[in-house]
Chain A
Amino acid sequence: MVEGQHLAELVRGPITRATLALFAGASHDHVPLHIDSDFARAAGMDDVFGHGMLSMAWLAQALRHWAPAECLRSWNVRFTAITPLHATVHCRGEVTEIFAADGERRARLKIGAWTDHDIQTLDGEAVVAID
């Protein structure tokens, strides 16, 4: 990794109702906004929408493609927009800094997720150990 490097995009989705039902069960996140259209509409939403943590799980897969999983030291994201039903999610990253800490070389990455309509849904940063 070098500063300024754009990392390979990872694309997941489109998000179907089945995607959300499976993820709700598998992730223990049973908040009905994501799986019950009646509940979501009563709460003022257009319909069910994607769990933020589903997109974050996909972003974790992208991170693993960029650096081995055991090299991930810390990361955080802000959920900046709802990920609508049927959206495709594009996970992207860019190396912003190479630095040394705790006796190892590390890279700071600017990371995010965007829908196919180019709405940014996740915006964050990750620190990974590099060779």
Chain B
Amino acid sequence: MLDRDKHVGTVSEPRIVDVEKGFLKFFAKATGETDPVYFDADAARAAGHPAIPMPPTYLFSLQMSAPAKRGDAFDKVNGLGIDMGKVLHGEQGFTYHRPIYAGDRLTITTTTSDIYAKRGGALEFVVQDTRFENDAGVLCAEARQVTVVRNG
């Protein structure tokens, strides 16, 4: 069982991530995207964007690309130490405040907000909230992730 008192309220260190054009193009290819706006900066500009726009779920990938040194789900020393063979993604939510584009640099901070169990502990749920701020410290997006641990 996860130690609720130890982990709930843990806030990660701020992680600086770059929204890389090459990775956005790779993501577009891997998800079967066909709109040239997601592959070609010129097409993006022609459509009124300053650069290739970040797809809405890529926020999750930014998190995965920069595991926190403090409070990461899988880190056995400084995080929750969840076994990768026992995880399921339970829920995912996003709120957007301003658009994010290739070339942007964001600072992301993750808080472990809640841990609860169901079925007598056979399933545990870890709720983590992440904020994405731009260089000017403006909140661009928020994400909420619920990770399920299968203990049964």
Contacts and interface: CB of A to CB of B under 8 A. Distances in A.
Interface string A46-72: 000001111011101101000001101
B30 A63 contact: no
A31 B86 CA distance: 10
B103 interface: no
Given A26-B29, A33-B84, A43-B86, A60 B91 contact: no
Interface in B84-127: 84-96, 99
Nearest to B67: A28
A29 B145 CA distance: 14
A12 B86 CA distance: 27
Contacts of B87: 31, 33
Contacts of B96: 72-74
B64 A76 contact: no
Interface residues of B, number: 33
B85 A27 contact: no
A53 B89 contact: yes
Binding site secondary structure of chain B: mixed
Interface in A63-97: 63, 69-70, 72-79, 82
A78 B91 contact: yes
Interface residues of A, number: 39
Contacts of B29: 22, 26
Q: Looking at B57, B61, B85, B86, which has the most chain A CB atoms within 10 Å of its CB? A: B57
Contacts of B62: 28
Nearest to A58: B31
Contacts of B65: 28
B30 A26 contact: yes
A32 interface: yes
Contacts of A76: 91-94, 144
A77 B144 CA distance: 10
Nearest to A125: B93
Given A76-B144, A79-B89, A26 B27 contact: yes
A12 B91 CA distance: 21
B140 to A, nearest CB: 13
Contacts of A27: 27, 30, 58, 60-61, 64
B129 to A, nearest CB: 12
